[in-house]
Amino acid sequence: MQARLLRCSHCAPTRRPIAKALVALNGARTIANKPKPWNKVKQKSRLLVFDPNSYPKVNSAIILQPPSESIVVSVNNRNKSLKEAEESLGQFTPTPYPSRKFRANTPFYFPAVKKNKEEALVQFNFSAHTAQLLRHTARNKGLRILPDGFARVSDVMRDEFYKDYTFDRFAELCQKDPSRDFDLVHMPDFIEGQLEDVWWVRAKRAHSMIGIDSSDHRILNMARLKTAICLCEPRDSDNIRQYGIPEQKFGRIRIHRTLENALFETMHFPARLQHLCISIDSEVAARNGVMFFSTQARETYAVGNVDGIIPPQALLGATLLDLRSTNLLHRYT
């Protein structure tokens, strides 16, 4: 065993050396009580390695080239006076950029896409204007509109907006409406003394005009009206016999429908003692331009012809009803 003095490299130079014991066993040298980070490993420095092939040869020829024109001009400009420099700058004219026909952010559409966008814009304008006309401004523009919201297509197309439209184009745009807001039907109308089937159009949504409800439907089968009765005041009997039954509130004529042989059992009478009950022939009235409608509450009303009346030839007869009331006292035992 050999013993010698070692000095730790981390210790101060003024400290005394620490005695360490070196023990040689089986050819392996071990330092007793020495921390693991103190093991010294020789690292090869790459900075000291020189590769002659990695650098160009020292004795290679160097080719000298003449200086560029920009360097010569910059040197000559230093010797010029300030006035000459201003004159040279004044003669300089910058080259403008080439003009562009379109902006950089101008979108490009294929012909099919552009056509679809134009068609969608036409459809939007048509739907907006038609809905506004049928739901709000039809009466103000003098159009005849029925209580269920229908108006004749020929009358609607007289508006200035539809001057370039044909009926086929009008019907096509109504059918292609995205919100399905329009009804286009073929119904009869009284024209020049006879019934003719014409096209009608209406908007399904709510109307701002008074007396119009799109939930009502028109009665086309007159066989459903077996008995149609209208209640009037007895004092109007002479005028009704001569001119017919005029329209009442909101351009309607209240009609009562009853079953056969039960004329007065299901009727509701106002609080008056006498009423003039007039029977109406619905088929004759329809041939003279009178229209009958039914509501969701199963109430029936009529709209007069072009004169706003149910003509006298459609009236079957009249009955004066004298109503009397009796108070009954019930006793319970």
pLDDT, tens digit (0-9, with 9 covering 90-100), for 273-316: 677 888 888 888 988 889 999 888 888 899 988 888 999 998 98
What number is the average pLDDT over the span 182-201? 87
Q: Does some domain include residue 150?
A: yes
Across 258-324, the runs of DSSP E, i.e. the strands, are 274-280, 291-294, 300-303, 309-310, 315-322
Q: Considering its fold, how many domains does the chain have in total?
A: 2
Residues 205 and 237 in one domain: no
Report which listed range, 91-95, 132-136, 258-262, 302-306, is most confident: 132-136
Q: Does some domain include residue 133?
A: yes
Q: Does some domain include residue 45?
A: no
Give 180: exposed, middle or buried? Use CB within 10 Å, 0-12, 13-18, 19+.
Answer: exposed
Q: Which two tokens stand for residue 277?
A: 């009950």
Q: Does some domain include residue 296?
A: yes
Q: Which two tokens stand for residue 1?
A: 């065993």
Q: Please state, as a whole number, how many other Cβ atoms lie within 10 Å of the Cβ of residue 189.
A: 18
Residues 235 and 310 in one domain: yes
Out of 163, 195, 214, a domain closes at: 214
Residues 231 and 186 in one domain: no
Q: Tell me: the pLDDT tens digits for 23-69? A: 444 444 444 555 555 555 555 555 555 555 555 555 555 555 565 55
Q: Does some domain include residue 147?
A: yes
Q: Are the C-beta atoms of 276 and 293 separated by less than 8 Å?
A: no
Residue 99 pLDDT: 64
Computed on alpha carbons and rounded to an integer, the radius of gyration of the chain in Å comes to 54
Residues 209 and 259 in one domain: no
Residues 200 and 136 in one domain: yes
Residue 249 pLDDT: 80
Residue 261 pLDDT: 47
Residues 272 and 319 in one domain: yes
Q: What share of the chain is helix, strand, coil (3-state, %, to 5)?
A: 30, 25, 45
Please tell me what DSSP assigns to residue 5. E
Residues 196 and 135 in one domain: yes
Return d(Cα 208, Cα 145) in angstroms, integer.
13
Q: Does some domain include residue 112?
A: no
Return d(Cα 176, Cα 168) in angstroms, integer.
12
Give 185: exposed, middle or buried? Use CB within 10 Å, 0-12, 13-18, 19+.
Answer: exposed
Q: Are the C-beta atoms of 272 and 115 separated by less than 8 Å?
A: no
Question: Residue 161's domain spans which residues?
Answer: 117-214
- Per-residue pLDDT at 266 exceeds 80: no
Out of 145, 180, 214, a domain closes at: 214
Residue 170 pLDDT: 94
Residues 250 and 272 in one domain: yes
pLDDT band at 235 (very low <50, low <70, confident <90, very high): confident
Q: Does some domain include residue 104?
A: no
Amino acid letter at 250?
Answer: F
> pTM of the full predicted structure?
0.57
- Region of 181 (left: φ > 0; alpha: ψ -120 to 50; beta: rest) is alpha
Q: Please state, as a whole number, how many other Cβ atoms lie within 10 Å of the Cβ of residue 310.
A: 31
Residues 210 and 223 in one domain: no
- Per-residue pLDDT at 248 exceeds 60: yes
Return the percentage of the chain with pLDDT > 70, whole number.
58
Least confident range of 59-68, 156-165, 181-190 = 59-68
**pLDDT: which is higher, 110 or 85:** 85
- Per-residue pLDDT at 196 exceeds 70: yes
**What is the SS3 assignment for 190-208?**
EECCEEEEEEEEEECCCCC
Mean pLDDT across the chain: 73
pLDDT band at 211 (very low <50, low <70, confident <90, very high): confident
Q: Tell me: the pLDDT tens digits for 111-158? A: 555 568 888 899 999 999 999 999 999 989 988 899 999 999 999 999
**pLDDT: which is higher, 276 or 73:** 276
Residues 210 and 244 in one domain: no
Residue 170 maps to which CATH number?
1.10.10.970
Q: Does some domain include residue 80?
A: no
Residues 189 and 175 in one domain: yes
Residue 293 maps to which CATH number?
3.20.170.30
Return d(Cα 152, Cα 171) in angstroms, integer.
13
What number is the average pLDDT over the span 87-105? 62
Out of 164, 190, 214, a domain closes at: 214
Residues 258 and 229 in one domain: yes
- Per-residue pLDDT at 228 exceeds 90: no
